[in-house]
A and B are shown apart, each in its own frame.
Chain A
């Protein structure tokens, strides 16, 4: 095939191709205009997983973002300027993620970039954000922000990270479910955070991880992995992502029926999945971590009610217009909260344009307590400006008659761990 390409594409043709691309870029629509008057909108580059393995999350991150922008704009915008979302599909792909950031900075003159979920896209994009000096607010859960792997321009103020989540889960699993755990997780950065930090936390509690089963995130059939789960497993800890999560849980049910080990899952394994799907009955009685409970709970706050209504989610966690279109409720609150934090940071720093980007980051770094409010419907949080990571309550729900019912709420302190980096010491 290489040979054919060589033979058919001459240098002249190639030059023609390059020239035509050049002329498209030079067309009027592509001219990047300079920052206009102060009433012009604040542009938020929204890196969204519209396609690829993160598409279900992308759809709901988009809806949550649009809802939050509407609320913010209806109440007067930021410093009197409206918010404008410039969305760019990254295909849940690290390379395209970095390209999207480039477009935000160079073509659209975005003030900040925001919204990325999948950890490999964050890790692939963040270095470019640092080079472009573009504040990059991620909503990813990965520990890579707080681990010191990234840079001063990358922050995660609206969602907690895996290390803090799993650390808070470990005592519950040991006290309520069992001491011998087998872990099933996706074989990339996000899954590795689970593997490393849960096993460390669980073993320090006196528990034992007897097997670790990594699964490629693009896998489409899972049964072949299940025989690797040892028979003396007391608790199966499962976390899976990607378009095939429903197949994953269905095949798990097929394999074990009602005879398997106790199940503790991260909601990711059934995120955006309708729990009334035939074949999922075996999940009844199993426990899930949820960043934010999908089903409206008995102790639902007014803030959750307001947020749920604004995004268009019913009390079962599905779209109000289509009960089969289940949301990614456990994660998407991060977009809502992050946008409110950007607003607060811009107001605090008197942000007026791109030249104030460093001031915005300093303003966010100086934040600490974020009380439960309309801006933080998931719950109160404590932000650590040094590690650029927020800490908050975690929820454990139990599947009861087809619904996830709150069983335990951790304290914020349960999720703390010693700082691993101080980004404030890095120069801009």
Chain B
């Protein structure tokens, strides 16, 4: 392939990757920013989203687009509620101690993963694309659905920004993030906010899953790699910084696409990890630090 189309292909692949990654990382970053806990089970909420999408799309007969739209509505809601319950039942009782919650969320990770294995089974299951159109770009073909993924992710990110910047709920979140004790003194129900944030964080990851599963298939072990990449993104972008998360996801996603295509996918992972080390050395609080730890 010539350099031009090669680069175009790599960038497109990278953009799809970056779109989904920014959603997953955004959820992780939101939870850390507001609650100051590291949610190791985040990847499993993503996986849960994928598996529920398979269930919903199988339940709905007829046009695959119907099942997909229904999944887009229901799945994030269900995953969000499950996450809220795990906050109510477990994390709240640990008083959000940062170290203990790491262990607790590792436990949640295994519970969700084994539950998926026991119910959904060990197989990878495909979800049909809502529309199956192949765009012929002369040098190579590209699925129209992948453009849809990029487009949807941008809209969603914009919505999250809108909520954070322009609504009262966003104001409450930002206040809690800045200083939870003072926020509480001003009458903000911190524990309700925490449950909601934990649910919303998981729901955003689940939206990413609904978008990606028609491309990648649902599988009970699919939560591991996105979790790792989301951590990398969040560390580079700065824990708790939404802007930083999106910029870092673009950086990691697109460079991953380009390096994978031009060199090797393994090198892309190595370089991403190396970048984390460099960022930690030079700017220990990430490129876009917003909170004091």
Chain A 233-262 interface 0/1 with B at a Cβ cutoff of 8 Å (1 = within): 000000000011011000001111100000
Q: Which of A216, A223, A231 contacts B13 (CB 8 A)?
A: A223
Chain B 2-31 interface 0/1 with A at a Cβ cutoff of 8 Å (1 = within): 000010011001000100000000000000
Within 8 Å CB of B13, what residues of A? 223-224
Q: Which of A4, A216, A256 contacts B141 (CB 8 A)?
A: A256
Within 8 Å CB of A256, what residues of B? 140-141
Given A243-B123, A243-B124, do A257 and B141 touch, yes or no (CB 8 Å)? Answer: yes
Whether B107 sits at the interface, judged by CB under 8 Å, is no
CB distance from A396 to the nearest CB of B (A): 27
Q: When the two chains form their complex, are residues B141 and A52 in contact, meaning their CB atoms are under 8 A apart? A: no
Interface residues of B in 232-278 (CB under 8 A from A): 257, 260-261, 265-266
Within 8 Å CB of A231, what residues of B? 1
Interface residues of B in 124-143 (CB under 8 A from A): 124, 126, 128-129, 132, 134, 136, 140-143
Whether A27 sits at the interface, judged by CB under 8 Å, is no
Within 8 Å CB of B219, what residues of A? 220, 243-244
Q: When the two chains form their complex, are residues A247 and B9 in contact, meaning their CB atoms are under 8 A apart? A: no
Q: How many A-B residue pairs have CB under 8 A?
A: 80
CB distance from A241 to the nearest CB of B (A): 12
CB distance from A260 to the nearest CB of B (A): 9
Q: When the two chains form their complex, are residues A224 and B217 in contact, meaning their CB atoms are under 8 A apart? A: no
Q: When the two chains form their complex, are residues A220 and B225 in contact, meaning their CB atoms are under 8 A apart? A: yes
List the A residue with the shortest CB-CB distance to B2.
Answer: A231
A277 to B127, CA, bound (A): 10
Q: When the two chains form their complex, are residues B126 and A246 in contact, meaning their CB atoms are under 8 A apart? A: yes
Given A247-B215, A257-B141, do A219 and B265 touch, yes or no (CB 8 Å)? Answer: yes
Q: When the two chains form their complex, are residues B140 and A221 in contact, meaning their CB atoms are under 8 A apart? A: no
Q: When the two chains form their complex, are residues A247 and B99 in contact, meaning their CB atoms are under 8 A apart? A: no
Q: Which of B10, B102, B257, B261 contacts A1 (CB 8 A)?
A: B102
Q: Which of A4, A51, A227, A244 contacts B10 (CB 8 A)?
A: A227
Size of interface on B: residues with Cβ below 8 Å to A: 37
Within 8 Å CB of A51, what residues of B? 117, 122
Whether A388 sits at the interface, judged by CB under 8 Å, is no
A279 to B64, CA, bound (A): 14
Within 8 Å CB of B136, what residues of A? 257
Interface residues of B in 91-108 (CB under 8 A from A): 99-100, 102-103
Whether A278 sits at the interface, judged by CB under 8 Å, is yes
CB distance from B68 to the nearest CB of A (A): 14
A225 to B10, CA, bound (A): 10
Within 8 Å CB of A4, what residues of B? 99-100, 102-103
Interface residues of A in 1-24 (CB under 8 A from B): 1, 4
The residue in A52, A55, A254, A255 that gathers the most chain B C-beta atoms within 10 A of its C-beta is A254
Whether A56 sits at the interface, judged by CB under 8 Å, is yes
Within 8 Å CB of B128, what residues of A? 278
Q: Which of B17, B132, B217, B266 contacts A243 (CB 8 A)?
A: B217
CB distance from B6 to the nearest CB of A (A): 6
Q: When the two chains form their complex, are residues A255 and B141 in contact, meaning their CB atoms are under 8 A apart? A: yes
Chain B 58-85 interface 0/1 with A at a Cβ cutoff of 8 Å (1 = within): 0000000000000000000000000000
CB distance from B94 to the nearest CB of A (A): 13
Q: When the two chains form their complex, are residues B216 and A220 in contact, meaning their CB atoms are under 8 A apart? A: yes
Q: When the two chains form their complex, are residues B222 and A220 in contact, meaning their CB atoms are under 8 A apart? A: yes
Chain B 211-235 interface 0/1 with A at a Cβ cutoff of 8 Å (1 = within): 0000111010110010000000000
A255 to B123, CA, bound (A): 25
List the A residue with the shortest CB-CB distance to B100.
Answer: A4
Whether A50 sits at the interface, judged by CB under 8 Å, is yes
Q: When the two chains form their complex, are residues B265 and A244 in contact, meaning their CB atoms are under 8 A apart? A: no
Q: When the two chains form their complex, are residues A244 and B141 in contact, meaning their CB atoms are under 8 A apart? A: no
A213 to B257, CA, bound (A): 17
Q: Which of A56, A224, A246 contacts B265 (CB 8 A)?
A: A224
Q: When the two chains form their complex, are residues B261 and A221 in contact, meaning their CB atoms are under 8 A apart? A: no
List the B residue with the shortest CB-CB distance to A277.
Answer: B126
**Residues of A bordering B, CB below 8 Å:** 1, 4, 50-52, 55-56, 58-59, 216, 219-221, 223-228, 231, 243-244, 246-247, 253-257, 277-279
Other contacts beyond A254-B142, A278-B132: 4, CB < 8 A: A221-B17, A226-B140, A243-B123, A243-B219
